[in-house]
Homo-oligomer: A and B are copies of this chain.
Amino acid sequence: MAFETKATIASFGGKLHKLTHQSTETTTPMAVNLYLPPQALTPNPTTKVPLLIYLSGLTCTPENCSEKGFFQHRASQLGLAILYPDTSPRGLNLPNETASWDFGAGAGFYIDATQPPWSTGYRMESYITQELPRALFADPTYGPLLDAARVSITGHSMGGHGALTLYLKNPGLYKSVSAFAPIANPSRCPWGEKAFEGYLGSDREGWKRHDATELVRGWKGGDLKALVDVGTGDGFYKQGQLLPENLEAAAREAGVEGLTVRYQEDYDHSYYFMASFSDDHVNHAAKHLGLL
């Protein structure tokens, strides 16, 4: 469905468009923010700009990272568009949908739920990988400005899990991947176990198809082109919710090259952490999108 533009905000020489559209996957209206860099705004842009999709973490909406992540800073210099989707359907009014901050609304985990009642609407994997980009690239206003053949993906926490798994499941769909404090082995941490049990049921074998640490073992796509940052002062890292070492070990055991995991001293799980390294992640994507 076509996008409705709710607001247009000047940011770092470009424009942040607050959009909404009706999703058939989620069966709800979905909010999404699109940042267009100045290179896409000239009266007659001659080159389509590539796109970086940013997947947010638990509880977040498109607003949080648009305001506090500062991806626009470096994206505006390089000529990169950024897409900030929401983290779940909103307003389905399923039982207990808003009872937890780490399950249901704001916590879609970027998978297609198989368990009722979530299997209706909680289809964020299909929404992010298929419906949303298809709608965006076909949009009469925004589509002509964007290069559908040059897309990368990144994300934070639950969104880092989303970025890594959607990248690993779909070789070639994205040119590179990065993540901030990702839930890197969800089958083995409390956040992931709760979400997978609820959305996918109790068959743990089936969970492996949605777990970056399991998926990387089967990666046949060559150099992984993956950058991961984790703060050593991150309370969720210390609690064992992230487990980036498991991802590193699995890649090493499988002989997969091109995974860079950086442990950033003292940084926490917040947007202060992301803002400090978002330039690096934009540079990482830009390198693989032909901008650097």
Contacts and interface: CB of A to CB of B under 8 A. Distances in A.
A289 to B, nearest CB: 23
Interface in A235-292: 264-268, 270-273, 275-276
A16 interface: yes
Interface string A37-66: 000000000000000000000000000000
A61 to B, nearest CB: 15
Contacts of A266: 10, 15
A73 to B, nearest CB: 7
Number of copies of this protein chain within its complex: 2
Nearest to A15: B266
Contacts of A268: 9-10
A276 B68 contact: no
A275 B9 contact: no
Nearest to A76: B276
A6 to B, nearest CB: 14
A13 B13 CA distance: 26
A171 interface: no
A6 B267 CA distance: 16
Contacts of A272: 9-11, 16, 67
A12 interface: yes
Given A15-B266, A70-B70, 18 more contacts: A9-B268, A9-B270, A10-B264, A10-B266, A10-B267, A10-B268, A10-B272, A10-B273, A11-B275, A12-B275, A13-B276, A16-B272, A67-B68, A67-B271, A68-B68, A70-B73, A70-B275, A73-B275
Interface of A: 9-13, 15-16, 67-68, 70, 72-73, 231, 233, 264-268, 270-273, 275-276
